[in-house]
Amino acid sequence: MTCPGTCEKPWSKSRWSQTDIPRLKQGLLGAQFWSAYVPCKAQHLDAVQITLEQIDVVKRLVDINSQHFALVRSSNELVNVHKDGRIASLIGVEGGHALGNSLAVLRTFYNLGARYLTITHSCDTPWARGANSQHPEGLTEFGKSVIKEMNRLGMIIDLSHTSMRTAKAAINASHAPVIFSHSSAYSLCNSSRNVPDDVLKLVAHNGGIVMVNFYTYLVTCNENASIHDVIKHINHIRSVAGIDHVGIGAGYDGINMTPVGLEDVSRYPHLLAELLADPVWSEKDVSLLAGLNFLRVFEKVEEIRDKWKMAEILPTEDSAPYFQSHCTSLYS
């Protein structure tokens, strides 16, 4: 099963589109997240509405192509859909600004099928910091409440796009494994979007995974990269965090420059074949990378949810400091 982290903007029609049903089939996709992405400029305006519209797009896309896709909300459903020969389709919300500073909105997204939330995108929220932020704070108290509520719901915490202060604070606050859904190794490309070795070690201790992104500027820090450069990132994360803590999070159709040899979703088998040609990589190792590591994280997140349910832990009622704009009412 190949289970890449994200396929972004499923409504996009561009000259550089990297995914469609024939190529998904060629790439032997077993499961993937469809990203409900909202631009940062929508923060404090209509971010919640846009997110709902993108979730609606994903669900309708899956429904009208039900011979190929099936929406899944649990690890068991993911496995069963894969056995059925269809592509297990999960929804991820990319960017905490989509919540409108509301845990009720978080719960609503979960109830609509969203199974991960990227804590920030390229902008700060009032409660968490994005990758380019120099703010000394990682998570506010409300941010920690978001993490707690995600643990209670059984929603995967995604730390791609966050500052490392925020990532460390989230890992420390979470009782469940976290993911970096589409990030690479900072030691090989010093982009603020990539994960440094000290955080890779924290992810390993947490039980989470870092899913390697194929965007060339996160692979080589320039526009030129190859499949072998991506493999260097995979091997580096493996060497620092361990084989159980690395995955694939290409980001196709959310990136406009791809490595030679990994031009689109049809190329996943070539990546796995290259790894198998290396004696260091066994078939079991490749299976872990290709999907079983993510499945383990998903199952553990659900296990924590179930334990909290048995313990009768109630929904978090905390609220963020009220943000008033011309698009908000006086009610808070």
Give pLDDT tens digits for 46-69: 999 999 999 999 999 999 999 999
- Residues in the chain where the model's pLDDT stays below 50: 10-13, 332
38, 98 Cβ separation under 8 angstroms: yes
Strand partners, 253: none
Amino acid at 159: L
Q: Say whether 211 sits in a helix, a strand or coil.
A: strand
Q: How far apart are CA 189 and CA 237, in angstroms?
A: 13
Give the closest residue to 286 by CA, choosing from 304, 308, 268. Answer: 268
Residue 57 near residue 115, CB atoms below 8 Å = no
In this structure, what are the phi and psi dihedrals at residue 80, rounded to the nearest 5 degrees? Answer: -65, -40
Place of tokens 């296990």: 303
Determine contact, residues 242/264, Cβ cutoff 8 Å.
Answer: no
pTM, to two decimals: 0.93
In whole angstroms, what is the distance from residue 237 CA to residue 196 CA?
A: 10
- Residue ranges and CATH numbers for the domains of the chain are 6-310 (3.20.20.140)
pLDDT of residue 11: 45
